[in-house]
């Protein structure tokens, strides 16, 4: 049972980890990222299209990353070239992505709810052996130290943090704040796109509303983890564990799933309302550039 629960936790954690690392990358540069949900959807849809077109899961992943990056590019341009509010922009993007994926689903595949199923071989390629889990899960786990290292130990990482704290200061030292933010948002799209690809490949098809609030949950993990990759990852895995536990409880004890599925959200509210202490977001988070 414990092995099953652990495996389920990792499976649920994979898209959350990708999305929350995307969230950290973008928010540390000062862009509030509610668009994670849209990136996940774009990633999932892109992966479905790529896999169905070529029969290869790897090509699917690449297509998912490309699609999510493209959506992020649009998002990033809006957030850097205009003084638009980040929160409203992100929510609008999510609604748009939800509608757009359904529209393309209908026009390209003539289906209303989901794409045709992927060839069985792709599912094996992505699910991996039962014990080891999917390769994407390992990449997600690897992304955590990678993002932490990038932020702390690279020139671009320092500039990214500086822009998230005080873009005017960074500009005064010759750093192009708009370019840094745009880069951070596109990177967030690419990372989160892998999470979306995982969703589609694991399910064996793309279905509408596939992101299912995971983008928002990932953002909650970013806040609870105080914008630090390691802590954010712990929060994301904790959410995943609760979700896995909720499935487990439901199966074992026939608890109504409406109740058990509230678990991660209840925990978020409880934790955010004081258990973790005051989180200090990047100082320039959500502040448009001049």
Nearest to 15 by CA among 174, 227, 213, 262: 213
Residue 223 as a binder of other proteins (CB under 8 A): the answer is no
Quickly tell me which residue has 């509408």 as its tokens: 208
Q: Smaller CB distance to other proteins: residue 43 or 282?
A: 282
Instruction: Tell me which residues in 180-209 interact with other proteins (CB under 8 A).
Output: none
How many residues bind other proteins (CB under 8 A)? The answer is 21
Considering only 1, 110, 112, 172, the residue that binds other proteins (CB under 8 A) is 172
**What are the angstrom distances between the C-alpha of 106 and each of 55, 100, 101, 144, 208?**
21, 10, 9, 36, 11
Minimum distance from CB of 111 to other proteins (Å)? 44
* 263 near other proteins (CB under 8 A): no
Tell me the window of 70-78, 95-103, 129-137, 155-163 that interacts with other proteins (CB under 8 A): 155-163
Q: Does 162 bind other proteins (CB under 8 A)?
A: yes
Show the binding pattern over residues 124-153: x = contacts other proteins (CB under 8 A), - = does not.
-----------------------------x
User: Cβ of residue 227: shortest distance to other proteins, in angstroms?
Assistant: 10
Q: Which stretch binds other proteins (CB under 8 A): 100-108, 164-172, 177-185, 240-248?
A: 164-172
Residue that is written with structure tokens 């959200």 in the block: 265
Closest by CA position to 79, among listed 29, 18, 38, 44: 29
Under the binding rule (CB under 8 A), the answer on residue 100 touching other proteins is: no
Considering the complex, state which of residue 172 and residue 273 has its C-beta at the smaller distance from other proteins.
Answer: 172
230 touches other proteins by CB under 8 A: no
Rounded CA-CA distance 80/284 in Å is 13
Shortest Cβ 235–other proteins spacing (Å): 20
DSSP secondary structure string for all residues of 229-254: HHHHHHHHHHHHHHHHHHHHHHHHH-
Separation between Cα atoms, residue 49 and residue 252, nearest integer Å: 36
Residue 121, judged by CB atoms within 10 A of its CB (0-12, 13-18, 19+), counts as exposed
Integer Cα distance of 40 and 190 in angstroms: 10
Residue 203: exposed, middle, or buried by beta-carbon count in 10 A (0-12, 13-18, 19+)? middle
DSSP structural state of residue 29: T
Q: Is 85 in the site for other proteins (CB under 8 A)?
A: no
Minimum gap (Å) between residue 36 Cβ and other proteins: 23
Residue placing its CB nearer to other proteins in the complex, 166 or 250:
166
Residues that bind other proteins in the complex, under the rule CB under 8 A = 153-159, 161-162, 165-166, 168-175, 282-283
């Amino acid at each position: 049972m414990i092995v099953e629960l652990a495996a389920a936790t990792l499976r649920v954690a994979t898209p959350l980890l990708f999305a929350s690392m995307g969230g950290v990358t973008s928010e540390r540069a000062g862009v509030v990222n509610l668009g994670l949900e849209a990136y996940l959807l774009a990633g999932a849809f892109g992966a479905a299209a790529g896999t169905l077109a070529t029969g290869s899961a790897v090509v699917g992943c690449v297509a998912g990353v490309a699609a999510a990056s493209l959506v992020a590019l649009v998002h990033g341009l809006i957030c850097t070239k205009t003084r638009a509010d980040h929160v409203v922009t992100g929510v609008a993007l999510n609604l748009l992505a939800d509608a757009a994926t359904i529209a393309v689903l209908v026009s390209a595949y003539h289906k209303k709810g989901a794409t045709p199923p992927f060839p069985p071989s792709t599912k094996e390629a992505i699910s991996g052996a039962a014990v080891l889990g999917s390769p994407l899960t390992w990449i997600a786990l690897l992304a955590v130290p990678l993002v932490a290292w990038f932020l702390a130990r690279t020139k671009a990482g320092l500039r990214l943090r500086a822009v998230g704290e005080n873009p005017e200061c960074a500009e005064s030292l010759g750093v192009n704040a708009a370019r840094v933010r745009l880069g951070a948002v596109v990177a967030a799209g690419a990372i989160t796109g892998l999470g979306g690809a995982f969703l589609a490949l694991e399910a064996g098809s793309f279905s509408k509303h596939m992101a299912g609030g995971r983008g928002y949950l990932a953002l909650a993990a970013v806040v609870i983890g105080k914008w630090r990759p390691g802590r954010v990852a712990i929060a994301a895995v904790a959410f995943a564990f609760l979700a896995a536990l909720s499935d487990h409880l439901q199966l074992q004890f026939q608890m109504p799933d409406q109740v058990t599925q509230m678990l991660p959200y209840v925990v978020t509210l409880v934790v955010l309302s004081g258990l973790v202490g005051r989180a200090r977001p990047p100082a320039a988070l959500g502040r448009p550039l001049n």
